[in-house]
Amino acid sequence: MTTLQKGDKAPNFSGKDQDGTTHTLADYAGKKLVVFFYPKANTPGCTAEACDLRDNYARFEAQNYALLGVSADSAKAQSSFKNKYEFPFPLLADEDKSVIQAFGVWGPKKFMGKEYDGIHRTTFVINEEGIIEEVITDVKTKAHAAQILR
């Protein structure tokens, strides 16, 4: 699982969002960036998490944060998810898992007694210089904004 820690340089990622627009770490220089990884679009926990971030978006903007959601869903699934809930932030469709693996959030998981590989719900808070300020692995889906904007 993730070996990235507070104080590490964030991976220089590049990924396409729901509209095919490329996003890289360099695009967010001078801003604080919240990169939140979630297992699957339109599932209850992921929806609760993304909606909580959406509902607090003005607070993030006021503090110079940009938000970027990432899962291995297709661009079509990400677009549907974003439009359905009117998210004001892009969602990367990381089908090849290059961003997911760069951040180290892919690995073995257990659900209902079965073990499988999947995305671990993890959020990285990256400062204006591209340094990781915080890694949140115990994400509270219904109160995630409060975990970030303490």
Tokens of 123: 């959020």
- Arithmetic mean of pLDDT, 8-36: 97
3-state secondary structure of 112: coil
- Catalytic site residue from 34, 35, 46, 91: 46
For this structure, is 51 an active site residue?
A: no
* Placement of tokens 């503090």 in the chain: 63
The per-residue pLDDT for range 67-88, each reduced to its tens digit, is: 999 999 999 999 999 999 999 9
Q: Which of 132, 127, 135, 125 is nearest to 30 (CA)?
A: 127
1 — pLDDT class (breaks 50, 70, 90): low
The per-residue pLDDT for range 90-135, each reduced to its tens digit, is: 999 999 999 999 999 999 998 889 999 999 999 999 999 999 999 9
Q: What is the pTM of this model?
A: 0.95
What value does the mean pLDDT of the chain take?
Answer: 96
pLDDT of residue 111: 81
How many angstroms separate the CA atoms of 71 and 85, rounded? Answer: 16
- The helices-and-strands tally (H runs, E runs) of the chain is 5, 9
